[in-house]
């Protein structure tokens, strides 16, 4: 008795027709009939009644049907479980993160994951949160750390909040106050990110909520460019406090405490692969046990 014979038997049992079963099994009909005959000979009993061209299961066929289904189901499960294990020895996981995280704790997470699963290739995409959401939806990323936004509430993503980042006003020189309000940015020349950055949308929305349109000194930059423009004195920028660690910049906190929630996201209709689930576990484990940069705290599953 072979797995192939059992598969052919189930195909005939489903279709009650040898020719249609052969088409379903992608095999020539004489070959399928020969294998069914060999199975019947092995078992010592006819499995199908072929009276007047109608195919029906004999009592022996009825007895074999649930057993054959269970055997083939168990084989499929075994293949999947082995593939899952192999997937953690080789393969790929595609992850995305915002520039503030890529420049701070994300490198440590990647290092911990690589140490645990050296055969899995990690592909990292750095970008604005909205760009990362689009990449997730298009299937270009498996997982991404994105900014939780009401605008994404109707998107087909599963999001798990993991971090809270403090926002500050970055400047080349001290601004002379311990804290700033959004209204204090009125008349201040702003260095603004390109479209696609959540920080751009947050800054614009908060300034407009405060009753004014912000003034741009320069716009369209990525994180490194924005910080460099601030360093040379072109203007100020609203950024996560973590990005200032290696810069000669001053960060003035915003009041009331301004921040943003970072979530680990994946497509709801596509379950993460074994490599993706392992990355999630490594990330959450790191956030629970690591000393996080100033201005960052774990929340949700990462903080539990």
Q: Which fold has domain 91-303?
A: D-Maltodextrin-Binding Protein; domain 2 (3.40.190)
pLDDT at 7: 93
pLDDT in tens, 89-143: 777 889 999 888 887 788 899 999 999 989 888 999 998 888 898 888 888 899 9
Band of residue 16 on the pLDDT scale cut at 50, 70, 90: very high
For residue 66, report the phi and psi dihedrals to the nearest 5 degrees: -65, -30
Which CATH topology does 3-87 take?
Arc Repressor Mutant, subunit A (1.10.10)
Assess whether pLDDT exceeds 60 at residue 154: no
Please report, for the chain, the start and end positions of each structural domain, with discontinuous segments joined by +: 3-87, 91-303
Average pLDDT, the chain: 87
Query: Is the model's pLDDT at 26 over the cut of 80?
Result: yes
Which segment of 100-104, 155-159, 278-282, 290-294 scores lowest on mean pLDDT? 290-294
pLDDT at residue 139, as a whole number? 86
Please determine, for residue 6, whether its predicted confidence score (pLDDT) is greater than 90. Answer: yes
Average pLDDT over residues 144-160: 75
pLDDT above 60: residue 150: no
Q: What is the mean pLDDT of residues 5-14?
A: 93
pLDDT digits 0-9 by tens, 213-230: 999 999 988 888 999 999
pTM of the model: 0.64
Instruction: Give bridge partners of residue 182 from the DSSP assignment.
Output: none
Report the distance separating Cα 170 and Cα 224, nearest Å: 13
């Amino acid at each position: 008795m072979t797995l192939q014979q059992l598969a052919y038997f189930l195909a005939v049992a489903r279709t009650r027709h040898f020719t249609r079963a052969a088409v379903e099994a992608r095999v020539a009909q004489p070959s399928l009939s020969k294998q069914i005959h060999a199975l019947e000979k092995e078992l010592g009993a006819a499995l199908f009644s072929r009276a007047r061209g109608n195919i029906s299961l004999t009592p022996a066929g009825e007895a074999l049907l649930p057993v054959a289904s269970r055997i083939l189901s168990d084989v499929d499960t075994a293949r999947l479980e082995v593939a899952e294990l192999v997937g953690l020895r080789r393969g790929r996981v595609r992850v995305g993160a915002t520039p503030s995280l890529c420049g701070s704790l994300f490198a440590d997470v990647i290092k911990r994951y690589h140490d645990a699963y050296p055969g899995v290739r990690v592909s990292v995409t750095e970008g604005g949160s909205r760009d990362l959401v689009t990449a997730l939806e298009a299937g270009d990323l498996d997982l991404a750390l994105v900014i939780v936004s009401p605008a994404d509430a109707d998107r087909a993503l599963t999001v798990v909040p993991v971090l809270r980042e403090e926002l500050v006003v970055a400047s080349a020189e001290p601004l002379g106050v311990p804290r700033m309000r959004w209204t204090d940015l009125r008349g201040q020349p702003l260095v603004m990110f390109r479209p696609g950055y959540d920080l751009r949308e947050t800054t614009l929305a908060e300034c407009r909520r405060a009753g004014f349109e912000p003034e741009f000194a320069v716009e369209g930059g990525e994180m490194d460019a924005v910080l460099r423009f601030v360093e040379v004195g072109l203007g100020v920028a609203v950024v996560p406090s973590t990005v200032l660690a290696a810069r000669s910049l001053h960060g003035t906190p915003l009041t009331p405490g301004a921040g943003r929630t970072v979530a680990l996201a994946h497509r709801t209709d596509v379950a993460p692969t074994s490599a993706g689930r392992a990355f999630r576990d490594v990330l959450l484990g790191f956030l629970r046990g690591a000393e996080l940069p100033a201005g960052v705290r774990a929340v949700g599953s990462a903080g539990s």
